[in-house]
Amino acid sequence: MATVFHPKSTWSTVSARLGGNMGIVEEVIVHHTADNGPDSFDAAYLANVERYQMRGDLNSFAYTRIAFQSGEVAGGRDWGTKTGATGGHNDHTVAIVAAGNYMDRVPTDALIDAIADEIVWGVLNGFIARNFRVYGHGEHTAGTQWASACPGTNLQARVHGFGSIEAIANYKLDTLPAIVPSLPPPPPVHQPRCVNVCANRTLRRGNSGVCVRTLQNMLRAKGFNPGATDGKFGTGTYNAVKCLQGSAGLAVDGVAGPATWGALN
């Protein structure tokens, strides 16, 4: 059965693109939340986890994906985005976390299958190398300042070997068509006819008109919420422009100039 997927937008307003971009990776790190997390998708629980992580040095949810005992999966950071979950390895690994404490819980087959499906999806879409390896968090942190018992003894036992996450993902990839997560279709990208004209304008707080409306539509299509699409460059549009600039590695000044229009295009 294909994985039921809940995009990050269903449980958080924090951008999924924070962390910086990375290329194709060869390592998938499995974690557990080590708490009394729910067996199925729970938006309030995920929001609390993110808030807790952001009290430290993180700017958003630490993981690429979170999987539940039910087999459901929720979005975290975007594919191809650095994580904040595995000290010393965040710039070259995908991080998938299981909700719950797997020192105590026994992972369901649905959970193992869901994590394997995510790896399959990552390989088929060019984010994970075909010669990938799967590791438990503790395998990469042993003997370091980040040493951890994560993902718990019971889940670690399903990382390698027969019937493991790694074996199931490889089997699915070797026997295509693979079972892949049922992701929602991406929103249509709205490209108004006046984009080229507006791209020559520099817009800032206090401006208004059709080019501000175009800017707002394009921000929304990229996943940044400017508030009302009213053609008025107010606080919502200003904050959305700054979020876009930060995710694209631009100077974060809230002014939509040529570089910002280029990032939107």
Q: Hey, do 5-174 and 195-264 end up sharing a CATH topology, with the first three levels equal? A: no
pLDDT in tens, 92-121: 999 999 999 999 999 999 999 999 999 999
3.30.310.50, 3.40.50.300, 3.10.350.10, 3.40.80.10: CATH of 5-174: 3.40.80.10
The string of pLDDT tens digits covering residues 34-45 is: 999 999 999 999
**Of 179-193, 202-216, 231-245, 249-263, which range is least confident?**
179-193
Lowest mean pLDDT among 114-118, 147-151, 230-234: 147-151
CATH 1.10.101.10 fits domain 195-264: yes
* Ranges of H-type helices in the chain: 43-54, 109-124, 137-141, 153-156, 165-174, 195-198, 210-221, 235-247, 258-264
Q: Is the pTM of this model over 0.95?
A: no
Domain boundaries defined on the chain: 5-174, 195-264
CA atoms of 92 and 128, how far apart (whole Å): 10
